[in-house]
Amino acid sequence: MSIARVIVDLSLDKTFDYRVPAQLAGLVVVGAQVNVPFGNSFRRGYVLAIGDTSDYPPERIKDIISICESHTKIPHKLVELGEWMADYYCCSREQAVCSLLPHAVRSGKIKQKSVALFGIADVAAAEKYLAANKDRKAAAGQVEILKILMSNPEMTRERLEAEFHINPSSLNTLRKKGLLLEEKQRVIRDAYEKVQIIPDQPLTPNSEQLSALDKIRSLLNDRSRGHTVLLHGITGSGKTEVYLQAIAMAIEHGLESIVLVPEISLTPQTVRRFRARFGNKISVLHSSLSDGERFDEWTKVHEGVVKIAVGARSALFAPFRNLGLIIVDEEHESSYKQSEAPRYHARDVAVMRGHMEKALVILGSATPSFESYQNAIKGKYELLELSRRVDDCVLPLMKVIDIRLDKKDDEDHKSGMFTKMLIEAVRDRLWRGEQTILFLNRRGYARQMMCEQCGYVANCPDCSVPYTYHLKTQTLTCHLCGDTITAYNKCPDCLSEEIRYSGMGTEKIEIVARKVFSEARIARMDSDTMKTNESYELVLDEFKRGNIDILIGTQMIAKGLHFPNVTLVGIINADQSLYIPDFRSPERTFQLITQVAGRAGRGDIKGEVLIQTYSPFNDTIQFAVKKDYRGFFESDMEVRDLLKYPPAGHLIAVYFQGEDAAAVGAYASQFMEYLRPACHDGIIVGEPAPAPIEKIKAKYRYMIVLRGEKLQQLRKYVRHYVLQARHPKGVHVYADVDAQSLI
């Protein structure tokens, strides 16, 4: 007897046994989607395993009813990966399995698209019919159609009507008479159908690229196990060219490749580079695809029509069956961590998928995550370095400006936002016709609205954070829940009109810049101004053409952009991300400064980076200025080693959320007692406490932070109690394994 273990779409984390009926034998395989009886109704589920026996008494085991659309089968290896994710990230198995398939495929609602093609069924019969009817007025329409189709290849009804103005009813008559053949032909919905791409050729690698590629070739050739490479290359060192040539090698071996990029850098610029090299061998999984397009892209990968999948996080689950290479670009990006269940980290899951499928994984970055760098130093990953810019462009000159020493002695910088030195540097560029990027990682006009009289601060009532003030729309907006209200012109408490806005954002930078550099053409790029992909492309295009002198933006402009005429980058406030109470703040600050700085001087003229700060002697800023990644890593690791913060140890955060603060707090304490038996000496327990942001969307939040070198046992406990314990009504509990931020 064949028994299938099926997971159904309910948060139960359990599989159920079903008998495979004779007529479905051989069709029910691991990863297949099936219809099963469940309680009094029916459900869809996925087969996770197949066995011969069941622990249930035979009379209680029901039959599988049918297989769902056969194409929604998940490859066996991916099912295994899903099981690992469920286990490691402490989420239910159905949550993990769900993330393996795009919604468009899973739902079963999207179908393949096809068109009907008409052709001559039998030439002899058609000729005979023509001869007999050629003079009959009533059959003129039919005669015409037969003539067209006898001298043309098969055609769709739409084309016959549009080009030849045929009569639709004549077409039906002919088909009914059996003179025409109607055939269904599949059409692939392609979002890039109309985009013209000029093919390009591999560039001749420089010596560093060449030695990296040699190593990559030898690791690709070794199919006995999976390898991981950390490609640490400064900005503009030609990492992307290495990726492209590595993919070409994989193709030579008949192997498939996945390329992960952060969503924010999945720009047409990037896509164009991949398309130019690989044409239609590539599938781009963009978040703006329609369901139909997504379905078709998935199908192309599944059927092996394409060999390369490029996309954000979820492209990692592209259903290739002969995978040879996974590339994770900008591997340090925190957006690789998914913020809802399953809270997986795409970089780490990529390494695991590579391990399971014996594929090579390349992690690339100019500022590697400490996790990856530690693994490379310890020899778990192969470390490859690109230390020079292509064309030997020199790295930009970095200068620190102490904001405190700036003399505010003229009109222009009364705002206190631009120091004298920065203003002069920008003017200098304007005069020479070169471009400037001004960076501040906060959008809006002001971070906080406060009353000077009574000290009232406008906070979001549902979240424990202040509203951000947006000048243009005259609104106060909560950046956590999106709540928006009309801005006050009087203090709502004391009615004073002395309202002060503090903590500047990009909107304010733009307004001040327009005053100070009145002759300049200025654009702003942040998620308030760039609501669509098109607006983003448009601004980049204008900037590239030199129609914009100063581009102001958040981290949206920090990534991957290549503009040879940008010779100045101004970082408005480097301290901003430094003092966020999180152990990764220095690492993030170092990354941001390095990434933004990398936008300067990509052409023939040496670039300059001006860093405004209140703490010019801060270690992180100093290491960034010296471009000393290694030094920074070693210095910051001392702190992490001491406190067992990742990568010196692992970290699990357990969150508790609910509307009743007391109930949430009490349950967090009770939950801690469940975990206590698994906490040994090597584990540092952050006792239950309110989370740094105590309230989001009217839900109070508590957390437990657990860290240590060996957490496997504890993780099992966490998983068990998160999924199996009976939580009080109204309290939601989840675990965040390898949490990227603790807020």
Q: Which is nearer to Zn ion, 455 or 631 (CB)?
A: 455
- Distance of CA 503 to CAs 416, 525, 556, 576, Å? 11, 19, 20, 9
Q: Among ligand ADP, Zn ion, none, what binds residue 453 when CB lies within 5 to 8 Å by partner kind?
A: Zn ion
Between residue 547 and residue 566, which ones bind ligand ADP under the rule CB under 6 A?
Answer: 562
Longest dimension (CA), the chain: 100
The contacts found for 470-476 with CB under 8 angstroms, 24 or more apart, are 470/444, 470/445, 470/507, 470/528, 471/445, 471/507, 471/508, 471/511, 472/445, 472/507, 476/449
CB atoms under 10 Å from CB of 493, counted, come to 12
- Distance of CA 609 to CAs 265, 419, 505, 519, Å? 22, 14, 20, 22
SS3 209: helix
Considering only CA atoms, which of 515, 602, 505 is closest in space to residue 550? 515
Considering only CA atoms, which of 41, 39, 38, 36 is closest in space to residue 64? 36
Q: Among ligand ADP, Zn ion, none, what binds residue 236 when CB lies within 5 to 8 Å by partner kind?
A: ligand ADP
Q: Among Zn ion, ligand ADP, none, what binds residue 119 when CB lies within 5 to 8 Å by partner kind?
A: none
Q: Among ligand ADP, Zn ion, none, what binds residue 491 when CB lies within 5 to 8 Å by partner kind?
A: Zn ion
Considering only CA atoms, which of 539, 734, 542 is closest in space to residue 652? 734
From candidates 204, 224, 532, 712, binder to ligand ADP by CB under 6 A? 204
Q: Among Zn ion, ligand ADP, none, what binds residue 209 when CB lies within 5 to 8 Å by partner kind?
A: ligand ADP
Q: To which residue do tokens 């008494």 refer?
A: 57
Q: Among Zn ion, ligand ADP, none, what binds residue 456 when CB lies within 5 to 8 Å by partner kind?
A: Zn ion
With CB under 6 A as the contact rule, which of the stretches 10-18, 63-71, 204-212, 572-580 interacts with ligand ADP?
204-212
User: Which residue type does 458 have?
Assistant: A
* Residue 207 contacts ligand ADP per CB under 6 A: no
Return the sign of the alpha-carbon dihedral for residues 589, 595, 598, 600. negative
Q: What is the DSSP letter of 464?
A: S
With CB under 6 A as the contact rule, which of the stretches 91-99, 197-205, 417-425, 735-743 interacts with ligand ADP?
197-205
Contacting residues toward Zn ion, per CB under 5 A: 451, 453-454, 456, 460, 462-463, 478, 480-481, 483, 491, 493-494, 496
Q: Which is nearer to ligand ADP, 235 or 612 (CB)?
A: 235
* Residue 670 contacts ligand ADP per CB under 6 A: no
Q: Which is nearer to Zn ion, 398 or 463 (CB)?
A: 463
Minimum CB distance to Zn ion, residue 448 (Å): 14
Phi, psi of 32, deg, nearest 5:
-75, 145
Q: Among Zn ion, ligand ADP, none, what binds residue 206 when CB lies within 5 to 8 Å by partner kind?
A: ligand ADP
Between residue 389 and residue 408, which ones bind ligand ADP under the rule CB under 6 A?
Answer: 390
Minimum CB distance to Zn ion, residue 727 (Å): 24
From candidates 31, 45, 102, 236, binder to ligand ADP by CB under 6 A? 236
Q: Which is nearer to ligand ADP, 55 or 392 (CB)?
A: 392
Alpha-carbon span 210 to 207, nearest angstrom? 5
Q: Among Zn ion, ligand ADP, none, what binds residue 205 when CB lies within 5 to 8 Å by partner kind?
A: ligand ADP
Phi, psi of 462, deg, nearest 5:
-95, -15
Report whether the peptide linkage leading into residue 153 is cis, meaning its omega lies within 30 degrees of zero: no
From candidates 239, 524, 701, 719, binder to ligand ADP by CB under 6 A? 239
* Residue 205 contacts ligand ADP per CB under 6 A: yes
Q: Among ligand ADP, Zn ion, none, what binds residue 281 when CB lies within 5 to 8 Å by partner kind?
A: none
Alpha-carbon span 402 to 415, nearest angstrom? 16
- CA contacts within 13 A on the Cβ side of 369: 25
Minimum CB distance to ligand ADP, residue 203 (Å): 4
Alpha-carbon span 474 to 484, nearest angstrom? 10
Minimum CB distance to ligand ADP, residue 205 (Å): 5
* Residue 665 contacts ligand ADP per CB under 6 A: no
Q: Which is nearer to Zn ion, 398 or 478 (CB)?
A: 478
Q: Among ligand ADP, Zn ion, none, what binds residue 239 when CB lies within 5 to 8 Å by partner kind?
A: ligand ADP
- CA contacts within 13 A on the Cβ side of 424: 6
Residue 44, beta-bridge partner list: 35
Residue 538 tokens, joined: 């448009």
From candidates 33, 95, 235, 441, binder to ligand ADP by CB under 6 A? 235
Q: Among ligand ADP, Zn ion, none, what binds residue 151 when CB lies within 5 to 8 Å by partner kind?
A: none
> Would you say 202 and 244 are in contact if contact means Cβ atoms under 8 Å apart?
yes
Q: Among ligand ADP, Zn ion, none, what binds residue 454 when CB lies within 5 to 8 Å by partner kind?
A: Zn ion
Q: Among Zn ion, ligand ADP, none, what binds residue 669 when CB lies within 5 to 8 Å by partner kind?
A: none
Minimum CB distance to ligand ADP, residue 564 (Å): 9
Q: Which is nearer to Zn ion, 451 or 548 (CB)?
A: 451
Q: Which is nearer to Zn ion, 242 or 451 (CB)?
A: 451
Between residue 365 and residue 394, which ones bind ligand ADP under the rule CB under 6 A?
Answer: 390
Q: Which is nearer to Zn ion, 45 or 466 (CB)?
A: 466
Alpha-carbon span 443 to 554, nearest angstrom? 7
From candidates 10, 132, 162, 203, binder to ligand ADP by CB under 6 A? 203
Minimum CB distance to ligand ADP, residue 706 (Å): 37
Return the sign of the alpha-carbon dihedral for residues 198, 204, 206, 209. positive
Q: Which is nearer to ligand ADP, 366 or 509 (CB)?
A: 366
From candidates 15, 92, 209, 270, binder to ligand ADP by CB under 6 A? 209
Minimum CB distance to ligand ADP, residue 273 (Å): 8
Considering only CA atoms, which of 278, 335, 285 is closest in space to residue 310? 285
CB atoms under 10 Å from CB of 636, counted, come to 20
Phi, psi of 36, deg, nearest 5:
-130, 150
* Residue 233 contacts ligand ADP per CB under 6 A: yes
Between residue 258 and residue 297, which ones bind ligand ADP under the rule CB under 6 A?
Answer: none
Q: Among ligand ADP, Zn ion, none, what binds residue 84 when CB lies within 5 to 8 Å by partner kind?
A: none
* Residue 238 contacts ligand ADP per CB under 6 A: yes
Q: Which is nearer to ligand ADP, 99 or 209 (CB)?
A: 209
Beta strand ranges found along 251-322 (DSSP E): 256-260, 282-285, 308-311
Q: Which is nearer to Zn ion, 163 or 497 (CB)?
A: 497
Q: Which is nearer to ligand ADP, 204 or 712 (CB)?
A: 204
Angle at 735 between CA 732 and CA 738, to 5 degrees: 155
With CB under 6 A as the contact rule, which of the stretches 205-213, 318-326, 334-342, 455-463 interacts with ligand ADP?
205-213
Alpha-carbon span 603 to 389, nearest angstrom? 11
* Residue 237 contacts ligand ADP per CB under 6 A: yes
User: Which residue type does 62 have?
Assistant: K
Q: Which is nearer to ligand ADP, 239 or 413 (CB)?
A: 239
Q: To which residue do tokens 């010596």 refer?
A: 207
Q: Which is nearer to Zn ion, 485 or 494 (CB)?
A: 494
Whats the size of the chain, residue-wise?
743
Q: Which is nearer to ligand ADP, 393 or 664 (CB)?
A: 393
Q: What is the DSSP letter of 61?
A: P
- Distance of CA 196 to CAs 190, 271, 544, Å? 13, 12, 19
Minimum CB distance to Zn ion, residue 363 (Å): 35
Residue 227, beta-bridge partner list: 360
Alpha-carbon span 656 to 252, nearest angstrom? 51
Alpha-carbon span 586 to 579, nearest angstrom? 8
What radius of gyration, in Å, describes the C-alpha atoms of the chain?
30
Residue ranges binding ligand ADP (CB under 6 A): 203-206, 209, 233, 235-241, 390, 562
